[in-house]
Amino acid sequence: MKVLGIETSCDETAAAVVDGERRILSNLVFSQLEEHRPYGGVVPEIAARSHLDHLDGLISGALAQAGLGFDELNGIAATAGPGLIGGVFVGVMTAKAIAAARGLPFIAVNHLEGHALSVRLSGEADFPFLLLLVSGGHCQLVAVEGVGAYRQLGTTIDDAVGECFDKTAKLLNLGYPGGPAVETAAKGGDGARFALPRPMLGRDTLDFSFSGLKTAVRHKVAALDEPISETDQRDMAASFQAAVADVLADRCARALALFQDDYGRPGPFVVAGGVAANAMLRARLDDVARAAGTVMVAPPPSLCTDNAAMIAWAGLERLQLGLTDSLDFAPRPRWPLQEVRGPTAAAAASERV
C-alpha cells in the first residue's frame, strides 16, 4: 500500500510517499523561511501564495523520486487542519482534485495526528503510549490508545513551548526561527545565571503554562545593557532552556505515573513536534523516562518538524482501517486531537486498567 501525503498547514510546503512497510519513498519539503524572515514570523497570506506556487512541483518531484505514477497510489492524504486556513485549503483542494481525477480515496488528516503517529513510521510504538506533543502552536500530554483514539491528559493554559522559544529568540536578537537559534546559543551559556520561574512546577494538574516565563525573560532582557552582548544572549538562552526543561520534566514525570495507573505499564513515552528536535530537551526527557522505568521514543529530527511523510503515514494507517473521507470534507482551522474519529476509541477506553 502506498499513499501520497501533502502538508501545507503553516510555512512548509511538503509532499511525500510512504508505503505499508514503513519506507519513506520520498519526502520533499520547501521551506518558506526566507520569505517570512523579514517579518520575524509567519505571514498567513504569504504562506498561502507560496503553497500555491510550489505544491504542484513538489508533488511531481515526490512521485518521480518514489518512481511511481498516480495510478500506482492507493490513496491521497492531506493535512485538513488545524493550521493557517489559507494554506490548509491549498493542500486539501489539491488532494481532492487528484483523488477525484484518479478515482483514489481521499484521507483528511489532522496535523496533530500526523505528529502523534510519526513515531510509528520511524519505528515500532505499540498502542497505548503516552505522547508529549510540543510545537510552535501546541503543548499537550495525550494518551494515544489507537488511531483516532486520543485522551488529553494536560495542555497549555496559555502559550505553547515553541512560541516561547520564538519570542525569546526575538528578544535576544537571535533571528528566526527561534527554536534552533535558542538551542544553538544555549550551548555556550550559563543556565544558572538568570533566575527564571518554573510555572506550574509541582502542581497536581498535568497542564502547562509558559506566559509567565516569557514575561520574565522580557523583563530580564530589558534590564540588560544595550546592545545585548553575546555572553548575555548565551546565558539567557541557556537559562530559558533550562527552565523549559524543568517544567517539561516535572509534568511528564507526573503524566507517566498516571499512565502507569491507568494502563498498567509506564509507557512507552513518545515525544513529537518541532520542539522535540531540541537535543537538550530530548536528553532530559529520556532521563525522566528511564526514572519511570520506560523508554523515551522520538522521531528523527527530520520527522519532528512539519513534513508530509508523517501525513502520508497517518493517512496510510487510517486507510488500512477503512477510514476515508468524502470530497465535501471542510478544512478546519481548529481541530482538537481528541475530536479525531477512529474505530478504536470505545474499545480502548473499555480496556483501560
Residue 349 lies in a domain: no
- Is residue 283 domain-shared with residue 331, that is, in the same domain? no
CA distance 90 to 97: 11
- Is residue 149 domain-shared with residue 282, that is, in the same domain? yes
- Provide φ and ψ at 342, rounded to 5°: -170, 165
- Is residue 307 domain-shared with residue 294, that is, in the same domain? no
Q: In the prediction, which pLDDT does 37 show?
A: 83
- Is residue 152 domain-shared with residue 37, that is, in the same domain? no
CATH code where residue 276 lies: 3.30.420.40
Residue 171 lies in a domain: yes
Residue 64 lies in a domain: yes
Residue 348 lies in a domain: no
Residue 284 lies in a domain: yes
- Is residue 91 domain-shared with residue 143, that is, in the same domain? no
For every residue of 245-282, which 3-state class applies, written as one string? HHHHHHHHHHHHHHHHHHHCCCCCEEEECHHHHCHHHH
Give residue 256's domain range. 127-299
Q: Is 9 in contact with 81 (CB distance < 8 Å)? A: yes
Q: In the prediction, which pLDDT does 176 show?
A: 82
- Is residue 291 domain-shared with residue 313, that is, in the same domain? no
Residue 75 lies in a domain: yes
The total number of structural domains that make up the chain: 2
- Is residue 329 domain-shared with residue 254, that is, in the same domain? no
Residue 255 lies in a domain: yes
Residue 156 lies in a domain: yes
- Is residue 136 domain-shared with residue 261, that is, in the same domain? yes
Q: In the prediction, which pLDDT does 88 show?
A: 98
- Is residue 109 domain-shared with residue 197, that is, in the same domain? no
- Provide φ and ψ at 173, rounded to 5°: 55, 40
- Is residue 178 domain-shared with residue 293, that is, in the same domain? yes
- Is residue 135 domain-shared with residue 277, that is, in the same domain? yes
User: Omega before 199 cis (within 30°)?
Assistant: no
Question: For each of the chain's 353 residues, which pLDDT tens digit applies?
Answer: 999 999 999 999 999 999 999 999 999 999 988 888 888 788 999 999 999 999 999 999 999 999 999 999 999 999 999 999 999 999 999 999 999 999 999 999 999 999 999 999 987 789 999 999 998 788 999 999 999 999 999 999 999 999 999 999 999 999 888 899 999 999 989 999 999 999 999 999 999 999 999 999 999 999 999 899 999 999 999 999 999 999 999 999 999 999 999 999 988 999 999 899 999 999 999 999 999 999 999 999 889 989 999 999 999 999 999 999 999 999 999 999 999 988 854 444 445 44
Q: In the prediction, which pLDDT does 344 show?
A: 58
CA distance 311 to 16: 8
Q: In the prediction, which pLDDT does 325 show?
A: 97
